[in-house]
Amino acid sequence: MGLTIIYSREENFQNGAERIRNFLVSQGVEAQCLIIQDFRFLNFNPLGRLSYSNNIYFLTNDRSVEILTRIFDDLGCKVLNAGHFKSRYSKAAIQFILSKNGFQTPTNYYSPGSRLNQTITKGKLKFPIIMKSFRHMEARRIIRRPKTNINTVTLHSVEPVYMEHFYNDAVLFKAYIIDKKVFYNQDAPPEPPKHLTRRLAGLGPLFDLEVYSVDCLWRSAQDCPIIDVNPSPAFMGSDVALASFCEYIKNFKKLSKKI
């Protein structure tokens, strides 16, 4: 059983996709990279490109991931994190679920783009704040003063915007979780607390995820907000996590329904 990694030419994940593919191939696992935009052409036959693999890994936040996940499901493919993609979690929804389940998150606020000025001038957030597009991995800008001219912010003003408090004194680090096994990148504290590792491993069932990464802020052992949960990482910060992912792919059982 091999792996097809699908990425978008409109995002910066090509290097990550090729890194995963090259490592898998070096370990004797068949792997290939495809571009998600190619699936939009009516004359493109995905079956012909999936001749040796019915395992799909979406390394993209493209809007068409949900519908392609459903199509591949119907074809009998194994789509990693399929349940998550079908649920269409937004960043705001993820933060709400995290808070509801007792996870520490930065103070945050969601605003339709048309009311962005009003949201900021009314002081709904403590400055500095980081402002992001509503979708994952899009443009972002740190606003340090309430009187910042919002017209200078490099985001589409008509799109919904997600804002959260920005911690100047925190260290950003990433955790990779593969089938409940947790691996940290080099920016993590030397000995992450066991309670944090245990809780990060428990996020998978909460968001229908098998393989994911978590962006965390380290201030102290008891002060570690979670700022994002990302499906299907590229493991750029951990060779050990990538090796574990390779073993995970090797151990996939063949599905009864085949292409």
Asked whether 183 and 244 are in contact (CB, 8 A), the reply is: yes
The pair of three-digit structure tokens given for residue 109, joined into one six-digit string: 């606020």
Region of 193 please: left (phi>0), alpha (psi -120 to 50) or beta.
beta
The pair of three-digit structure tokens given for residue 241, joined into one six-digit string: 């996590």
Rounded to whole angstroms, the Cα distance separating 218 from 14 reads 29
Whole-model pTM: value is 0.80
- Report pLDDT for 154: 45
Rounded to whole angstroms, the Cα distance separating 110 from 112 reads 7
Query: What parts of the chain have a pLDDT lower than 70?
Result: 1, 41-53, 107-162, 165-166, 253-259
Burial class (CB within 10 angstroms; exposed 0-12, middle 13-18, buried 19+) of 7: buried
- Report pLDDT for 259: 38
Does domain 3-80+246-250 fall under CATH 2.60.120? My reply is: no
- Give the ranges where 5-64 is alpha helix by DSSP (H): 14-26, 46-49
Q: What distances in angstroms separate CA 64 from CA 19, 81, 204, 230, one per listed residue?
A: 23, 15, 22, 17
- Buried-state track 78-88, b at ≥16 Cβ within 10 A, e below 16: bbbbbebbbee
- Report pLDDT for 56: 93
pLDDT tens digits along 202-259: 999 999 999 999 998 888 878 888 988 999 899 999 999 999 999 999 887 543 334 3
Q: What distances in angstroms separate CA 128 from CA 59, 143, 154, 224, one per listed residue?
A: 31, 6, 17, 18
Q: Per-domain residue ranges for the chain?
A: 3-80+246-250, 91-104+169-231, 108-165
pLDDT tens digits along 184-214: 998 888 888 898 999 999 999 999 999 999 9
The pair of three-digit structure tokens given for residue 48, joined into one six-digit string: 């012909």
Residue 211's closest CA among 29, 1, 5? 5
Q: What is the dihedral of CA 192, 23, 41, 210, to 10 degrees?
A: -30
For the domain covering 91-104+169-231, report its CATH number.
3.30.470.20
